[in-house]
Amino acid sequence: MSLSDVPEVLRRGRATHRHFVVTFDDAYTNIAGIADFLGSRKVVPTVFVNGAFCEGRPYFRVLAALLRDYGGGPALRAELASLIPNKEWSEKSDKLFDQTKDQYVAGLTETAVAAAYNKTIGVAADLRCHLDAAELLTLRKRGWQIGNHTWEHLTLSALDDTTAADAIERNAAYLKDANLEPLDWLSYPNGLARHVSAGTKAWLDRNPTKHGLFAGGGINLFYSRTQWLRISLGNPDLQAFRRILAHNAFASSRLATYLTDNAPTASAR
């Protein structure tokens, strides 16, 4: 089914049928290559888009991975140490790559990675690893749906509330201006519970038509406006895919039972 149909189905009560929705985050160019395949199977995907990426600035983790793989580790370490001197930065490229996530500082990490990339590998904008607005419009015209993934993918919990709200709203305006007709859905950048904050919740409270989507696993058995769940698949083979689904179904079902059994009674509320 399409993402826009999901709330209505679960608003009626606990899910009784198996449905699935396909979503993509960050609008990488390789997803356009499977449009015919998905269309032939009547799958309507949703792409969660970052306006800054559409405008030619690649996601910093892509640049960091290339630096790791093509000898850019020392340059990256130097930039990180200069911009974020209060943290230890590893001399091992693998570890350093992980640190760009684990020791992330919104804005500064991005600047350090981009500077190292431009000094050692080339022009980041030339990578063209994200779809631009015109390419997304082509997919939209084929029926694909477009969602908000914030302007430049900064972790919302790392921002103050005003900056976080700007990151969401600037992107919504960009998608609207590009005629992409964005859904009322926000995919939280990085997508784990620790990547959102009370400020994210406050923004959702001020915008009661919006839905918020995580990416840390789980199957949606109940309606929830701000805590929709999603499984990040990567690129598993069929057997691994089945295992992931079974694991998520089991965990979600156990949690649903726990929540039902421990729901506050009217007197305790």
Judged by the rule CB under 5 A, the positions of this chain that interact with Zn ion are: 25-26
| Distances from the Cα of 239 to the Cα of 131, 189, 245, 247, angstroms | 31, 28, 10, 12
Tokens, residue 119: 């000094």
Minimum CB distance to Zn ion smaller for 99 or for 150? 150
Q: How far is the CB of 87 from Zn ion (least distance, A)?
A: 23
Q: Output the smallest distance, CB 188 to Zn ion, in A.
A: 9
Q: Which is nearer to Zn ion, 45 or 73 (CB)?
A: 45
Q: Which is nearer to Zn ion, 156 or 221 (CB)?
A: 156
53 vs 203 by CB, closer to Zn ion: 53
Phi, psi (deg, nearest 5) at residue 151: -60, -50
- The radius of gyration of the chain's CA atoms, rounded to the nearest angstrom, is 20
Tokens 């792409």 map to which residue? 47
What's 265's DSSP letter? P
Nearer to Zn ion (CB atom), residue 26 or residue 79: 26
Residues 104 and 55 sit within 8 Å (Cβ to Cβ): no
Residue of this chain nearest to Zn ion (CB atom)? 25
Residue 14, SS3 per DSSP: coil
With beta carbons less than 8 A apart as the criterion, state whether 84 and 112 touch.
Answer: yes
In whole angstroms, the minimum distance from the beta carbon of 58 to Zn ion comes to 12
In the complex, what is the shortest distance from the CB of residue 101 to Zn ion, in angstroms, rounded to a whole number?
12
- State the nearest-atom distance from the C-beta of 173 to Zn ion, in Å: 19
